[in-house]
Amino acid sequence: MLRKILAMGLCVLFMLVSVGCNNSQNSKSPNNNNGSDKAPVSKEKKEDNVSDKVTDNVTDKVADKVEEDVELIPVSFRLNYTASGLHAPFYMALEKGYYEEVGLDVTMGEGTGSGTTAKLVGTGSDDIGLVDSASVGSSIAAGIEIKIVAPIYAVNGFGVITLEENGINTPKDLEGKKVGIATGDGPSKLFAAVAGASGVDESKINFVTMDSNSKVTSLINGQVDAVLGGADNEAVRIKNMGYNVKVLRHSDNGAPTVGLSVIASETYIANNQETIKKFITATMRAWNEARDNPDGAVDYILDDFPTMDRKTAVGGLEVALSSLFTESSKTLGDLSVSDWEKCRDLLVEYMGIDDSLKATDLYTFECLPDNLPAR
């Protein structure tokens, strides 16, 4: 966007200089019948002065724009996981210049799990991150001072992912089975709530720790009977590979906690509220546009990840878009105090988090901008 403005400004500048030169040459032509060269000199000066003033004006505006670009506020944003379709709106906001329009220079980085992203944001290695509420709760319990500043998913998109032929129809059926997990990621952290609500004895499950990128191949190759992952990620990938995938959503099995959300450290919130508001404004603008055109939104992430499968990316984003609201939500990013209280109660009851945790320890409304896109 800046390059286009600079190019336009320089073109106008070139045209004005050319006009000034032409006018200068015309004024010197022997066209004066009175033989006096006083009038032509005066005309040339007037025309040159006008040209110089306009040229200076254009130059100043171009220079101002360059100065504005230099003054963009740098923001490092860490995803929860490796990039996939569910992240498309963030790349859309970046590529369409929405962050730049609000004065931010955003750098996007992939993640390796919500727990790791929470630590990076809490220590100040990244300014803002994308993390689910279960990981926020457990991070706070571990002394990491972070808060949710804007929920993206009103309800989490995690689940038990398996194949139809494996005969797993409820969380209880996982007892005696091999289940693939990635240490520190959201689906694994929140499973304790699912187990507690569903009467699952976790000691009877053979949890197999693996790299997050190995979940899909481990499941389809029969190395595990199920994996804990995303209905918006691994499940879509497996389905598009031609397998009969089955998903038991955590939110349908006793753990409807707040899902992926924008987080920041307590320190960053205290010192950069306006920056966070700007980030949320630009982000929600893109998410709102993605609601109307998921396929178009995916174009922007494919620009950065051209080997990503389009069908899988669109499918993942569509699942994400189905998780944006609760019954009480009036806008994007809107959750009631009651929604937050329920989330807190689940985390305390089933995840071993100390009862001293308050719902307001998880989130803050301070950074939410006015006029968020309506439901």
CB contact at 8 A, 253 and 194: yes
Residue 47 has pLDDT above 60, yes or no: no
Q: What is the pLDDT of residue 109?
A: 98
> What CATH topology corresponds to 158-252?
D-Maltodextrin-Binding Protein; domain 2 (3.40.190)
The pLDDT assigned to 49 comes to: 54
At the second CATH level, the architecture of 75-152+261-362 is: 3-Layer(aba) Sandwich (3.40)
Express each pLDDT in 109-164 by its tens digit: 999 989 999 999 999 999 999 999 999 999 999 999 999 999 999 999 999 999 99
Cα 18 versus chain centre, distance: 46
Residue type present at position 196: G
Pairing type for strands 245-249 and 158-163 reads antiparallel
Closest-CA residue to 303 (of 56, 25, 11, 90): 90
Does the reported pTM lie above 0.85?
no
Query: At residue 327, does pLDDT exceed 60?
Result: yes
**Model confidence band, residue 365 (pLDDT cutoffs 50, 70, 90):** very high
Beta bridge partners, 148, equal: 263, 363
Q: Domain residues of the chain, as ranges?
A: 2-70, 75-152+261-362, 158-252
- In tens, the pLDDT along 156-211 reads 999 999 999 999 999 999 999 999 999 878 899 899 999 999 999 999 999 999 99
Name the region of 210 (left: φ>0; alpha: ψ -120 to 50; beta: rest).
beta
Query: Is the pLDDT higher at 167 or at 45?
Result: 167
Are residues 351 and 192 in contact, defined by beta-carbon separation less than 8 angstroms? yes
pLDDT score for 60: 55
Mean pLDDT across 262-285: 98
pLDDT in tens, 224-242: 999 999 999 999 999 999 9
Rounded to 5°, the CA angle 227-229-233 comes to: 125
pLDDT tens-digit readout, 328-352:
999 999 999 999 999 999 999 988 8
- The answer to whether residue 82 scores a pLDDT higher than 60 is yes
Q: What is the pLDDT of residues 299-324, one digit of tens each?
A: 999 999 999 999 999 999 999 999 99
Mean pLDDT of 56-68: 50
> How far apart (Å, rounded) are the C-alpha atoms in residues 193 and 263?
22
C-alpha span between 320 and 85 (Å, rounded)? 9
Q: Does residue 32 register a pLDDT over 50?
A: no
> Is the four-CA dihedral 182, 186, 189, 194 of positive or negative sign?
negative
Domain 75-152+261-362 matches domain 158-252 at the CATH topology level: yes
Which percentage of the chain shows pLDDT scores above 90?
78
